[in-house]
Structure formats: C-alpha cells, structure tokens
Amino acid sequence: MSTLTIAAVQYDIHWLDQQANFNHLEQIIKNHFTDNAAVDLLLLPETFSTGFCINKSNVQEPEGGGFALAWLKKIARQYNCVVAGSVLVSQNDKKVNRFYWVFANGTVEHYDKRHLFRLGKEQDHVEQGKNRKVISINGIKILPLVCYDLRFPVWSRNCQDYDLMVNVANWPAARRHVWDTLLKARAMENQSFVVGVNRIGVDGSNTPHSGGTTIIDFTGENIVCAADNQQQIITTQLDFSKLAKFKDDFPAFLDADEFKLL
C-alpha cells in the first residue's frame, strides 16, 4: 500500500474529566465521519483524556489498560481504523506518558515519551521512556513522538526506517512559533511526511494552547492545517510513492553522518 488516509483531531481537552472527553470526542468524530470518507489512522493529542496533569495523583491508567485504552479500542473497532493518542499510565512509583496505537482488531502497540518537559517538572512525576519505536500500518512505517521529543533531532533522525513522523502534543501558545518551525524542520531533514497534533484552549494550569495541528510533506510544505483556536478535524491522503520518487531524485540520506543512540 502506498497511500494512507489520516485524520487529526484538534480540540479543547476537558481537565481531569475522562468521560467528558470521551463524550466530546465521540460526538465530533461522529459528526466528521457523517460527511467524510473512512480513514486508516485517527490521531488524538497528548494526554487526550485528562489534559497534561502530570502532577496529579490517581489520574493514570493501570499498566494493563484502563478506561482510556478501552475507549480507544471501541473507537478503532467502530471506525475500522488505527486510533492513536497518549495517556498517563502507572509504572513503578511514577507514571509513563504512553502513546497508544490501537488497531481495529484489538492489537495494541505503544511508545513511551522519551524527553520529559523539565520546565513543567514532568521528570518529577513521569518515568522516561527507554525505547525508540516504529509502528507499521499497511506497510507504512511511522515514528511516534510526544510533544517535547520534537526538540531533539537525534532521537528522531531517520535512519531510513520510517516514512512518516507523528508528534502529539499539549504545546503552549507561548511557544507556538517553535512548534511550527520544528515540525517543518523535521520533515525536511528526515525526508518524511510529518503530522503534528495539538490541543486548543486553556488547561487546568492556566496555560493557553492555540492548536497548530498540521500535516506536512517531505519538502516542508503544509498539506493541510487546522485553523488556530478552533475545534477541527483535518484529513488528507498521503501518497508515499511521491516520497519514494523524491528520495530517488534527491538522496541526501546517503550522505548522513553515522551515530549511535546510547
């Protein structure tokens, strides 16, 4: 398969209210698919069911799965697609910020956020992820990242093991220019498609978010962008044969430096 149809959901996350978020998402997803074709991949922001409440107790899911994972499975089954979004999950005496990828048949894969947001003291409450992960959907290789990971290009360097990078975030409006700039940089330097999925609204810590959910091609050009500060689902079909041709014509990856992640 050389194409992948993607939908990315930009919305205002209800603070510490899982059921309100589930109800809200079900309604806007239903409304969208009433008028639009099916997709292969449906993407939700970081901590989509609670907001970025890393210092709160009793908000994390059990490691074997809780309400949020069950809900993701339901939506994946209902719309016959992969559904992906991050939630806080118990691990040891802390949590992990776990980016779940749930397939329609019930299969679950995940990536745990590697780079913890020091300014927000995420490292005091969340355990660092150890492993880089590549997810395969219909033969398309996808690198999942969570929010602050975007600032660290070595972690996301394309060693010709992925075609698409996906970053889900609660990225504040105050640093929106960084979000927009780095998403494009990652697309160009890695010769890959990039999707950035961000929330809108003011969270429970009084931090404003303006969105910036976007799908970018391998030359750094925007394919589709959500409107700022608006609830919206953006969708497009990515053609990976165009990526392959571009890399054949401009094989910059052949001159990349060798490196090793420690």
What are the DSSP calls for 187-248, one per residue? Answer: HHHHTSEEEEEE-EEE-TTS-EEE---EEE-TTS-EEEEPPTT--EEEEEEEEHHHHHHHHH
Give the model's pLDDT for residue 3: 98
Give the model's pLDDT for residue 98: 98
In 3-state terms, what secondary structure has residue 178?
Answer: helix
Domain ranges of the chain: 3-253
Where in the sequence numbering do the catalytic residues fall? 46, 113, 147
pTM over the 0.95 mark: yes
Give the model's pLDDT for residue 1: 60
In 3-state terms, what secondary structure has residue 161?
Answer: coil
Measure the CA–CA gap between 166 and 220, rounded to whole angstroms. Answer: 14
Residue of 45, 99, 107, 57 lying closest to 232 (CA atoms):
45
CATH H-level superfamily of 3-253: Carbon-nitrogen hydrolase (3.60.110.10)
Token reading at 72: 């993701």
Give residue-wise pLDDT tens across range 113-167: 999 999 999 999 999 999 999 999 999 999 999 999 999 999 999 999 999 999 9
Give the model's pLDDT for residue 35: 82
Intervals of the chain under pLDDT 70: 1
Measure the CA–CA gap between 114 and 128, rounded to whole angstroms. Answer: 5
